[in-house]
Structure 1
């Protein structure tokens, strides 16, 4: 019951944050805009499996804004949850109540995930309404699956943020950690992949060749790439919206995206909890 109490408190408290409301507003407006113009990236106009354009437009409406705002929202709602209260002294008061440290970490995670889930659901609902009114047809199955996977993807970043918040002693350190990891995922991972290529292959690939499977797997460890693999596994239409190399290796099949995302949810949160459980907050 204590876990539910913490989760409920976090959910209601987070909804009133001006920074969260601002990010949510930008996300919502972007989603509505992409849905209204029925935009499909150029790669999707070529066609891979003959997927109808309205289906591609439907799943891409969340895809373009979500790639930016979902990770940002997940980190924003989570980085200060424990570290901020530790700095202010509110955490001592919380632990003086019948809440264990496990209740605090996992309750805060569940409450903040519920915020991301609600935001994604509302954005998805807006896309659904626009699709029902203006699209030639409405692919309900693709719509539901796509929205669900986006919630899972957002949960990864909430876990990372809450894990950092539980690990660090101050809100600023938690913020630096989450922003650094976000920059690595969004900007630095390709540079890391190129460094691996330089080490094991050289500056250029032979004509018609692709990266070895092991290096490609290192790329899939990025939650953003794992999300695309998971999406292609559940929605083959995503093949028309991505350009990732294909491989016969078992560890590079599309389904591998789901266990990698699950690991990114479980590991940061667990490490943060283990550190927080042993920390002296007094």
Structure 2
């Protein structure tokens, strides 16, 4: 059967369970609603990019950062753990599939689901923008769409890794919830507490050191923003981060961080899955 076959089966199962249709409708409504807002904060209205395009980027920025991870984690937390609890995992492994085929095939299948949902949803939003905006940069919006797909894949990988490495669906669910809370809610709080512990209330005159700024960049959601700035320079108008002199604080580093958050959880999940008894 193999990895590609597992991925195709998982994708088709999502179609039959209406997961794909539901997610696609959700993204279409979400993106279309944001496309209709057309608001640019006054501070950004002199930006080089047309204000219509900037309005859409601004509207989609924070909701995308919070919604895409939530959907990716919910979509994939039971990818392997659900199969284990239902008993179908033994059947899946009884076919000519290795455990690696199952873990990475599930990741491919669930990534396909979130990718189609984002692509269709953003295509609808882009169509609304083309029809209703005075000017609209399709190239910029297309680049943002592809980076959003990558961002979604990162959280699918995180959830799939947890799903493969945990002994039960509930533990995988709790793990996915903990990751969401850490990256979207707790990371900045922990950085602030670390800043207080190291420097107190006063930030050094020279600014925070590069190693401290790197800790902020290691959050996948922050890395997504840096990756967007790397391929859409105008995106820097909407997201301001402390700058440092180290090479690892450049915006392209966002892609490296996203790649690591994709590969490491999948590898961890696979290695844990290899040692788990599925009988």
Decide: shared fold, TM above 0.5.
yes
Please name the residue that 1:13 is paired with: 13
> 1:62 deviation in Å?
3.6
- Does structure 2 retain, via aligned residues, the 8 Å contact 1:167–1:272? yes
Q: 1:95 to 1:34 in 2, by over 3 A?
A: same
CA change 1:14–1:104 in 2 (3 A) is same
Aligned equivalent of 1:229: 226
Q: Secondary structure at the match of 1:99?
A: coil
Instruction: Give the distance between the partners of 2:21 and 2:147, measured in 1 at CA.
Output: 22
CA contact (8 A) 1:43 1:241 kept: no
Counterpart of 2:161 in structure 1 is 163
Question: Which secondary structure does the structure 2 equivalent of 1:110 belong to?
Answer: helix
Q: Note the aligned Cα RMSD (angstroms).
A: 1.9
Partner of 1:4: 4
Give 1:218's match in structure 2, choosing from 215, 218, 222. 215
Residue from 249, 259, 262 that aligns with 1:262: 259
2:197 aligns to what?
199
- Partner residue in 2 for 1:95: 93
SS at structure 2 position matched to 1:37: coil
Uncovered stretches (5+) of structure 2, i.e. residues with no partner: none
Which runs of 5 or more residues in structure 1 are unaligned? none
| CA contact 2:25–2:121 (8 Å) conserved in 1 | no
SS in 2 for 1:281: coil
User: Contact 1:10 / 1:112 at 8 angstroms: preserved in 2?
Assistant: yes
**What TM-score do you get using the length of structure 1 for normalisation?**
0.93
- Number of residue pairs aligned between Structure 1 and Structure 2: 279
- Deviation for aligned residue 1:40: 2.9
Counterpart contact for 1:32–1:61, Cα < 8 Å: no
Matched position secondary structure for 1:251: helix
- How far off its partner does 1:248 sit? 2.0
Q: Deviations over 1:169-221 (max 9, x none)?
A: 10000000010011000110011101210122112325x65322111110000
Contact 1:219 1:225 in 2 (8 A): yes
